[in-house]
Every structure is written in structure tokens, then in C-alpha cells.
Amino acid sequence: MATANGGNGKVWKGTLITILVVFILMQFHRPEIAAGGQGIPLNAPPPVQAILQKSCYDCHSNTPHLKWFDYIAPGYWLVAADINAAQQVLNFSTLGSLDTVARNAALWEVLNQARLHAMPTRAYIALHPETSITDEDIAILKKYVATLKPVIQPDSGFTAARDHQFYEWAKGYYANKQNIIAPNGVPYMDGYKDWQPISTTLREDNGTMRIIFANDIGVKAIRENRIHPWPDGTTFAKVAWGQLIDTAGKVTTGAFRQVEFMIKDSKKYIATRGWGWARFKTPALVPYGKDKVFTTECINCHNPMKNNDFVFTQPIQLP
């Protein structure tokens, strides 16, 4: 019996030594955390900058701040992969190099991710509690993003010009609609103008007014309360116009900016969370995106709403 126990002890000792050796060797494999490009860093007011540095810069900048345990493999491998991927989505160290529209849109997305408590992730906050975003932080970010909105006041001839453009948009005279296709194969659908409006939204960062339309399948799902998840065939169109503010403070629609589509097909679009995405910009309806990878932006934006089948704006109650 003593011999058997001694044998078991040697086995356990050998196993522990092997594990220790493997663990030590793992520390020599150090994936590089690459700087996510060169450019101009974001220049925001100090209170805003302090929040971003506290809660975002660890992953979304060229200056991540790692704790001692972040350097221990295999955890370090996950940290490095997460930071490198995060920098490709958003990098505050180069954000100032973007044009005004793209930079403001990125900050709008930061605000959305913060108030939905999608970023920082719960897993990250559990190990780095100091990065948590408070309600006060969100209020500061929201106030800052609101200052980015352009205020456009109409001139004396704006009414006729606006009405003419709306007429052109409604009649679909801007382009050959049969040949407008997004890089991922989603076509422009001019028929959305006859769909049922189901909600409206505003963007604090760019001063746009938006109406969301749904096709017959989507409208039927709303009336029957079958929107978790939405049935295949549901299609949304979100149309954005610029805001015009007259001298009395009245806000009206201005220039047509873009229309975005979401098409539910759980099989065809399985790689993009069951939704097909597309965006067509300006009255010329120029497809957004250089290639089909542009849908990564759509998915990253809508990921916090996965419990709502990736749909942000809940519809109004239809009769």
C-alpha cells in the first residue's frame, strides 16, 4: 500500500511539474499589441476626455493601461487580441484624423454603447471596476455629443427648395432604382415610401430627423406582438433628413440624407445575425461601403440590442 501511494505521489508531482513548465513556457509567447495606426488624437473637453480615458482607452487607443494580471498568459493572449480588434473598430488616438461627420458619428456610437451599458463589457468591469461608466458620465457624454449637432437655419427660399426636393424624393426621380445595389447584394427598395411608418428617432450628433417604415410583414408582426424575434421577411427602412430651425425655433425637415434598410432572413443572413443591412446616401442614393465587410459596422452598432433581435427603436402600437 505504501508503495502504491508513493507511486501516486510521483505521478502527481510529475504532473504538477509538467503544468508548471508549460505555464512558464506560455509566458514567452507574447502576441504584439500593435498601435492602431498613426493620426490625430481626439480633442475633447477635459471632463469628456477624462471619462473616455477612464472607460475606453484601455482597448480603444494606442496607450492601453494593463494591470499586472493582464500580462499573464493565457489571459494576456485574449487581452492582446481584444485590444487589436477594438482598435480596428474605434481608436481615440487617431479619431481626430477623421472628417467631422465620421468623427461625430463615432462619438454618437460611443454614447449609445455607454448608455446601453454595452461598453465597457461586464466581464471587463468585473476585473477593472474603475472603468465603469456612471449615470453622471453618460449625462456628460450626452451633453457633449449634443454640441456637435450643426444648427442650420433656412434662408428665405428654403421652403420651395425643400418642398421640391421632397417631391423628387417621393417620386423616386433621383436615380435608376433597378441598378442600385449595396456591396453585400442588398438592393435599394423604392417601394418603402408606401410602407407604414412605425416610429421616429433623432440623432443628437448630426441633427437629423428620422422616420422608420415597416413592410406588411413587419406591420403584421407588430399588431400580433410577434417581434421577439421578428419573423423572416420583415423589412425596415429608416429615412434621415437634416433639421432646419427657423428664427422662432421651429424644427422642420431639410435635405434628404440617406435611407437604411434591415431585412430579416435568418438563413440567408445567418452570418450577420439574421439581418441584411444596407445604406444609400444622398439624393443620388449612393450605396454605402467599399465592400460587403461594411456590415461589420452595422453589427457592432446593433450588438447591444441582441435581446431585442438587434432592433434599436421599438415600434409604436398600431391599431
From 83, 115, 146, give the residue that closes a domain: 146
Q: Of 169-178, 255-264, 271-280, which gets the smallest average pLDDT?
A: 169-178
Same domain, 94 and 232: no
Same domain, 218 and 289: yes
Same domain, 239 and 273: yes
Select the more confidently predicted residue: 267 or 163. 267
**Cβ–Cβ < 8 Å for 206, 149:** yes
pLDDT level of residue 287 (50, 70, 90 thresholds): very high
d(C-alpha 10, C-alpha 108), whole Å = 60
Same domain, 199 and 294: yes
Range 106-116 average pLDDT? 90
pLDDT at residue 88 greater than cutoff 80: yes
pLDDT in tens, 142-176: 999 988 877 665 555 556 666 766 676 666 655 56
Same domain, 66 and 99: yes
d(C-alpha 173, C-alpha 197), whole Å = 22
Is residue 313 a part of any domain in this protein? Answer: no
How many domains is the chain partitioned into structurally?
A: 2
Residue 99: domain span: 46-146
pTM: 0.73
Same domain, 293 and 175: yes
d(C-alpha 97, C-alpha 39), whole Å = 6
Is residue 315 a part of any domain in this protein? Answer: no
Is residue 17 a part of any domain in this protein? Answer: no
Range 111-118 average pLDDT? 89
Is residue 25 a part of any domain in this protein? Answer: no
Q: What is the mean pLDDT of the chain?
A: 86
From 146, 171, 190, give the residue that closes a domain: 146
Q: What pLDDT score was predicted for residue 4?
A: 53
